[in-house]
Structure 1
C-alpha cells in the first residue's frame, strides 16, 4: 500500500528517512522521516518481537539524538514497540520552520508525532532535556502517556552544579559563536572525549566501536550549518523553562502528571544534581525511584540492562493494579 492510499493521519509516517546513509543504524533498527506541519522528524524504530505490543516513544537530551537509545531498545523489544525521535534540529531532523527550540516547542513536536501516527497512549521516556519535554507532554496531554520514565530529567535546580554551568552558558547570546571560534581546531575525537567525560560516570565503559561511532556522528553533526544554533537555542529554551512560574513551571507540571513514573538518577551526574532525586520523587505523585551511584547523565547508555529491568518492574506493577 502506498502512502497516498493511507489515511492522512498515517501517510506522513511511511516516507523513507532523508540522508539515512549518513546516520548509523544498529541491527534491528529502522529509520523513517515524518513530515508534519512546520517540521520534519526522523524516527528510529525498533519493532517489537511480536504483534500487539504497547507503543513506546523515547526522547533524547540536549545535543543528543535517537541513537542515545540504541543500547536500551534491544532490552525492551519483547515488551514494547519502540520508537525514538530526533528532536527538531538534532540527529537527522532538520530545524523547525519557526525556529522554536523551547521546551514547549519540542513538546509540541512530540505531541504532533504521536497524534499523526495514532500511537498514543505510549510508554514515554525522556533523558535530560527530553525529560523536561516528556514531563510537559505528560502534564498537558495525559491521554497520550501510559507510563513515564525520566532519566536525569532537566528540571529546575536553584543551585546547579558547577560542572553544568558551561552548558547553561550556551544559552547566553553570542557564547555559542564564541565557543565555535575558540574550539575550531579541536578534532572530533577531542570533542567526543569531552562529551563523554561530562556525560558518563565512567567514560572507560565506552568500548572502541562505540567510541568510533560517536566520533563519526560528531563529525557529521559539525558539518551541519545549524548545529550550534540548535544547541544554543535549545539551551536557552531549558533556561527559559527554568524561570517559568505558575501553571507552566516544570515542577508544577510534574505535580500534574497522572501516569505512573519511573525516575532514574546517577550519582556521578555532572549535569543534573543527584540531590534532585528526592524532590522529583515527591513531586511526581505516582513515582518510583532508581538511583545508580556509579552512573552519570545517560544511565540508559551506561546501564541499559538495569534501566530496562526497572521499567519492566514498573509495567508489571501497573498490570497488577488493573
Structure 2
C-alpha cells in the first residue's frame, strides 16, 4: 500500500505539541493548519432544527463557486487537499451533511439521497448560493447527481468521484455486506485502520495522535452511521435514482479509481450512458477517493473539464 508523505511542517507541529497537549488538542491544531493552508475557515448555520457545520473560502475571489459533498461516514475535511489545489481560483464551500462531522446527527430524520438533496437546497438558499459547480464523492456523488437533476438551474457542472447510487457491477464491499460485515462502519479499535486500507489505495500518512482521535470519532458515530447506511443501502437497486439522473442538464465528469473496492469502477459506464452530457476518466492506481489520494490530478481534471466544449 503506497502512502504519501506528510508535510514537514505538519510533522514538526505534531512533534512539538505531542508532549504538551492532549491528543484532541493536537488533532484540532493539525486540522486547523490543514484548513488554513487550503484557504478555508469554519462556519455554521441552522436550517430547520439542524445545525450545519461547513468550511468556506476565507477570502472571496473573482471566480465561480464550487460546492463539495463528502461521502458516507466522512466529513468536510475530506476535501481540504483538493481545496488547497483550487485555492485562489474558486469560492469553495464544503459541508458536513446531516449525520456527519460536526453537523447535527439525529436518528429520527430521513437520510436517503433525496433527503440530503432537500437539506442541501435549504442550505443553498440560506447562503445565497444560486449557481455553482458541484462535486461529490461516493454517497456525495449520488447526492450531487440527484441535486443536479432536481435543481438544474443551480448547477453549472458536476464532478462525480466514484459515485454511489448505481451498483450494476458488484464490488468487494457488496460481498462483505452480504456476509454480515461492513468495513465502512468502525465498531472497535483497529476497524478504522481497516476502513482506510479498504477505501484508499494511496493512503495519506496520518501521525498517530491524530489518527487516534479520528478513530475515536468514527467509532462514536457507529449508531448514526448504521442508521444512514440502512437508509441508503437499497437505493442503487431502485429505478428512481436512474430515472432521475437522465434529467441532468449540466455537463458531468465521472472520475473513478480503477482499484476502488467500495464501488466497482465499471459502474462509471452506467452513469455515462444514463446522463446526457457526461464523460468519464478512469484512474488506474487510485481507490475510492481520488480527491484525497490524488488531489492535484483531480483538480487538473476539473480545470480541463471546464475548458472542454459540451458534447
Q: What's the TM-score once normalised by structure 1's chain length?
A: 0.79
1:93-242 map, 5 Å: 93-96=103-106, 98-166=108-176, 183=187, 186-187=188-189, 190-203=190-203, 206-209=204-207, 212-223=209-220, 227-242=221-236
CA RMSD, Structure 1 to Structure 2 (Å): 2.6
3-state SS of 2:227 partner = helix
1:40-59 map, 5 Å: 40-47=51-58, 51-59=61-69
Q: Distance in 2 between matches of 1:158 and 1:244?
A: 11
1:63 to 70, 73, 79: 73
Q: Contact 1:40 / 1:96 at 8 angstroms: preserved in 2? A: no
Q: What's the TM-score once normalised by structure 2's chain length?
A: 0.81
Offset at 1:141? 0.7
Query: Structure 2 unaligned runs (5+)?
Result: 1-23
Structure 1 stretches of at least 4 aligned residues deviating more than 6 Å after TM superposition: 19-22
Q: Contact 2:26 / 2:210 at 8 angstroms: preserved in 1? A: no
Offset at 1:46? 3.0
Offset at 1:213? 3.3
Tell me if 1:261 matches 2:252.
Answer: yes
Offset at 1:240? 3.4
3-state SS of 1:154 partner = coil
Offset at 1:65? 0.4
Q: Distance in 1 between matches of 2:49 and 2:265?
A: 37
Offset at 1:21? 10
Offset at 1:98? 4.6
Q: Distance in 1 between matches of 2:50 and 2:118?
A: 11
State the aligned residue count.
279
Query: Structure 1 unaligned runs (5+)?
Result: 1-18
Offset at 1:97? 7.8
